[in-house]
A and B are shown apart, each in its own frame.
Chain A
């Protein structure tokens, strides 16, 4: 395979002056023109997203920072209270504080999501690096394998893994992580190929640099960006998948709160206690929205960098 078809993005001077209005404010060879260009008017959506994640992430590890209530303490007298001053999210059928349960639920859900992304990132990147760098039979075999993994709908693959592994938060995380592997593999492989075909790697080869040095000095640092950006993009989707499996009841066992199972628990009280499934679900949606928004910003910054 020759990579003649890859468009050469590196020749900004080749076109006429028309399509690149930004070129005008990029003085050539004077000072450091790129750095100050980063500052932009503050984007409210992005700011909100960062704030939300900044609040949620600590909650995933230190839930006590956000609530002092015990998520498992049932107060039968206070059951099914609507959201109010004492209980910002209301209480459930056993009188447990829903806010505390959501906060403590983020512990399991977000850690499981993080683990799933990590599995995909590590396994996928290694496979992609091998495929792109070794090429030949290894590449063909790994690519066929990703083809097959991608041909099975992600949720079904996760369900098969859950069936085999059994239930529980960690197992759900593994099951979801495996479905991300093939995309990470493809991105890493594409990056490795792109960079291996780039002018500077050819120049390094032509000047006698050994293969491992090329890999460490040129390929990995340049490939890491897009792969990490995809990890951020994947995170939102993974949260959704993890909570779907939890909603279906394959996650943590009952008293322990998880976002998906909290929504599921509220199903029997839809008509009478709307907050039980609505509010935890809203938290999931907001988290995913925020994660996606941040990932998009990272993606934009990354694309711009190159």
Chain B
């Protein structure tokens, strides 16, 4: 990877970017809080270096310091950032401007909000050339079209005249790639460039960044929380934790023989697709998949991500996942008995009302979904954000009405149940929501939260309920001390355990888990998943598990239903779906999971 550097100073062996003992702190309420504590990092010309760490590890802060773009309250306390012989840490604002864009490009984290919403695409790309006077207005406009074309955007002339909100997230990120590469920089900093995108788009964007930079000999500093992405794309990896770099080395070295316990923890904590992959962390962590940006784009129906949902993805070699272990198979048989299904849904349809005054109803969020959940069975509903999986779940537990279709629970039609009957039904089906930050009332103590369902059904006396709260908290492996705390004082993982305890309070027959780990850190993800699996096996409850993350699903479900655009495209036992996917979309999803390339 020591391919042709673009002249100017540094010899191939000499580092292009050389960070020494970089220290950054934020202004906290009680004094400066260190975010980066003396890190060393080098990037040689044309090399791809991944900086890996969990959120809060300081990796983005360090990367932004290279460009002199620390967020408000951040200050550079010391160290050197040598770039091609110049110490950027010592430069003033005006001198730094000469480097930004021209020498060092930035591909930001969330493409949907990283383009100015009120300006057309073309001028925003051209600006990167104009600020450095690399072209006059006319030439810049012409060059913009070439750049958009290079970035893989269809019909550059049309795209250039569009506004960012008219493009999908993937297309926006391609525009930002065009911006970053416009002035032919020597280094590109890619800050979690795909974490806000859908799984299938992620891989194509990363591929594209890889191709463009390799062809041009541009070095890349790739910031990611995802070891698998780093493994796929980088030449060297640096692992960062709590503001320090704990491990640096070649990809192979770091993944095969992680020296630092933190790296080992990261590797072990990530749910693997199967045993053979377990050494590679496989998580596809999308922050808030149902967030406003993605929902908005889904609702407005933006142009599809290129025409690129083409054969190449399908032609990708199928991951050869081994068959389920014998133990798992027997567990499956044991827990999926034939004594009838607990829940059966037939041909569910959900139409959200269209805009006020519009005559036609809005788009169908769920379009004819049928599924069944056996007693003691875990069914996973998998799909990308906006596929309608959450809405399906909410219909099942009657939190939202159905437009048409039928739901039966232990043989009883519950589709239109109301009043006291619905309340009695609630006792038998509970939900664990996606965000434990929103699902726990900020004003109540943990004990009050956990016993809320008991209060609602007047179960037991006050003392008995307190007793039950302690029992439930123990059940989800939390210390009894948390009972008196408020939700705000707990971590995300702890909060989600509280939510699980609440769902179990009434000993329901069915628990619906709506992306229960997607808002959590990798390490707490694994713990919560283990807990869920253990509880499900112990208590023999049925579980509907909603996730966008195939790796997570494999770990916990008996059967999988794959959802896309409001329909279920494939259903089957986990082993079968993962080894012999029948539908091309499932194929696509499996192939898109990072880590596939690292096998």
Contact = CB atoms under 8 A, between A and B. Distances in A.
Q: Do chains A and B touch in the complex (CB under 8 A)?
A: yes
Contacts of B505: 207
Counting contact residues on chain A (CB < 8 A from B), the size range is: 35 or more
A200 interface: yes
B115 to A, nearest CB: 17
Interface in B16-57: 26-30, 33-35, 53, 55-57
Given A8-B435, A15-B55, A23-B56, A207 B452 contact: yes
Contacts of A32: 489
A218 interface: yes
Interface string A15-51: 1111101111100110111100101100000000000
A21 B71 contact: yes
A205 B399 contact: yes
Contacts of A1: 353, 356
B363 to A, nearest CB: 12
B2 interface: no
Nearest to B298: A4
B245 to A, nearest CB: 14
Contacts of A39: 29
B28 A16 contact: no
B492 interface: yes
B452 A209 contact: yes
B29 A210 contact: no
Contacts of A204: 441, 452, 456
B490 interface: yes
Counting contact residues on chain B (CB < 8 A from A), the size range is: 35 or more
A17 B435 contact: no
Nearest to A221: B443
Contacts of B427: 208
Contacts of B387: none
A67 B427 CA distance: 66
Contacts of B292: 4-8
A107 to B, nearest CB: 38
Nearest to A15: B287
Contact of A21 (B27, B30, B437, B494): B27
B109 A16 contact: yes
Contacts of B506: 207-208
Interface stretch (B58-66, B175-183, B199-207): B58-66
A306 B399 contact: no
Contact of B295 (A4, A31, A207): A4
Given A10-B438, A11-B435, A17-B55, A207 B288 contact: no
B438 A199 contact: yes
Nearest to A205: B399
Contact of A11 (B26, B288, B440, B456): B288
B370 interface: no
A137 interface: no
Contacts of A29: 489-491, 494
Interface string B414-452: 000000000100110111011101111111100001001
Contacts of B353: 1-2
Contacts, number: 175
B519 A14 contact: yes
A37 B30 CA distance: 8
Contact of B195 (A16, A22, A28): A16
Nearest to B110: A15
Given A28-B491, A34-B489, A206 B430 contact: yes
Contacts of A8: 288, 290-292, 435, 438
B33 A208 contact: no
Interface string B445-470: 00001001101110000000000000
A24 B35 contact: yes
B130 to A, nearest CB: 27
A31 B455 CA distance: 28
A12 interface: yes
A203 B29 contact: no
B380 interface: no
A198 interface: yes
Nearest to A203: B439
Given A10-B438, A222-B443, A208 B492 contact: no
B488 A34 contact: yes
Interface in B518-540: 519-521
A40 to B, nearest CB: 7
B404 to A, nearest CB: 18
B244 interface: no
A218 B441 CA distance: 7
Contacts of B457: 208
A202 B399 contact: yes
Contacts of B291: 7-8, 11, 14
A21 B73 contact: yes
Contacts of A306: 442
B191 interface: yes
Contacts of A22: 26, 28-29
Given A8-B292, A200-B438, A208-B427, A13 B492 contact: yes
B148 interface: no
Contact of B502 (A7, A23, A207): A207
Interface string B478-515: 00000000001111101000010011011000000000
A218 to B, nearest CB: 6
A213 interface: yes
Contacts of B56: 17, 23-24
B30 A18 contact: no
A21 B499 contact: no
A2 B502 contact: no
B61 A17 contact: yes
Nearest to B425: A208
A206 B435 contact: no
B227 interface: no
B50 to A, nearest CB: 14
Nearest to B224: A16
Nearest to A206: B431
B71 A19 contact: yes
A17 B224 CA distance: 11
14 contacts: A4-B299, A7-B292, A15-B110, A16-B59, A21-B26, A21-B33, A28-B491, A32-B489, A198-B438, A199-B438, A206-B431, A208-B423, A218-B441, A306-B442
Return the 5 tightest CB-CB contacts between A and B, nearest first.
Answer: A14-B287, A199-B439, A199-B438, A10-B437, A10-B438
Given A25-B33, A29-B490, 7 more contacts: A5-B295, A15-B287, A17-B61, A28-B492, A203-B433, A205-B399, A208-B506
